[in-house]
Amino acid sequence: MANVTVLSQHVCFGGRQLFVGHESFSCNAPMRFSIYLPPASDLGRVPAVMCLAGLTCTEETFATKAGAQRWAAECGLALIMPDTSPRGLNLPGDSDHWDFGVGAGFYVDATEPPWSQHYRMYRYVTQELVDLVAAEFPIRKEKLGILGHSMGGHGALVCGLRNPDVFQSISAFAPVVAPMVCPWGQKAFSHYLGKERESWRHWDACELVRSGISTNAEILVDVGLADKFLTTQLMPEKLEEVCARSGQSLKLRRHAGYDHSYYFITTFVEDHLRHHARYLT
């Protein structure tokens, strides 16, 4: 594996959980990701699901908290779990706030300095990492899905909608669906993309669907009704409305009592992986 360094690996449900480092040309910085290879990968290439984590998370978060490996092994799916931003760059202000900068790349390609030199997470997720894992691991590049949580849910929706040739299935837990009108998104976009709001539309799932961009696959979204960010940051009803108007197939499930945490994710992650398996296997 000339292009990656395996930092650690662990046997898990008969497969292998690896943590990997490499030099990223998209981010112009060292990057890390984790990858779960199910038992089926010992026999040949397998489909995979890109799993995008949320604010403050790393490449370890989904791997250690979601409980997804059990179901990935059963479904014959690999899991690809990137970090949420470049790290160790010490850009001005990159560590001042938990919801911006380090751990908060928002899966966009920044256009404003100093972020534009390194914060190119969209290109990293949709191009570089896809090519890298297909070259270095037994992954079927033509059979990829994408899911995410919170900020990562925003990333999954935007990356999936804009790249139907790359991702054949999409799902999200508690996604930020309309970042142009929520505080998290406005903060990130104004710094990464500048003050001209028209350019933000390319990075907003609701605006993409409103403009006619769609996917043939049904999008699965789960939200918890006890999520403290539901009304102020997530606003799932906005995605529901634009999908209904445009004809984009959406299954939006609301769950009483569940919050924003990984306890919510681990409860329903089996459903999400089986959703992806319908399209990928």
* The pairing of beta strand 5-12 with beta strand 15-24: antiparallel
Section 114-141 average pLDDT: 98
- Active-site entry in 149, 154, 260, 276: 260
Among this protein's residues, is 199 annotated catalytic?
no
Q: How far apart are CA 224 and CA 234, in angstroms?
A: 11
Among this protein's residues, is 85 annotated catalytic?
no
Section 102-119 average pLDDT: 98
CA 75 centroid distance within chain: 20
Q: How far apart are CA 10 and CA 209, in angstroms?
A: 40
Q: Do 59 and 82 form a contact (C-beta atoms < 8 A)?
A: yes
pTM: 0.97
Which residues of 100-178 form beta strands (DSSP E)? Answer: 139-149, 169-173
- Active-site entry in 24, 150, 169, 171: 150
* pLDDT for 241: 98
* pLDDT for 2: 61
- Residue pLDDT, tens place only, 45-81: 999 999 999 999 999 999 999 999 999 999 999 999 9
Among this protein's residues, is 96 annotated catalytic?
no
- Residue pLDDT, tens place only, 186-237: 999 999 999 999 999 999 999 999 999 999 999 999 999 999 999 999 999 9
- Active-site entry in 227, 272, 275, 276: 227
- Residue pLDDT, tens place only, 143-194: 999 999 999 999 999 999 999 999 999 999 999 999 999 999 999 999 999 9
Section 73-98 average pLDDT: 97
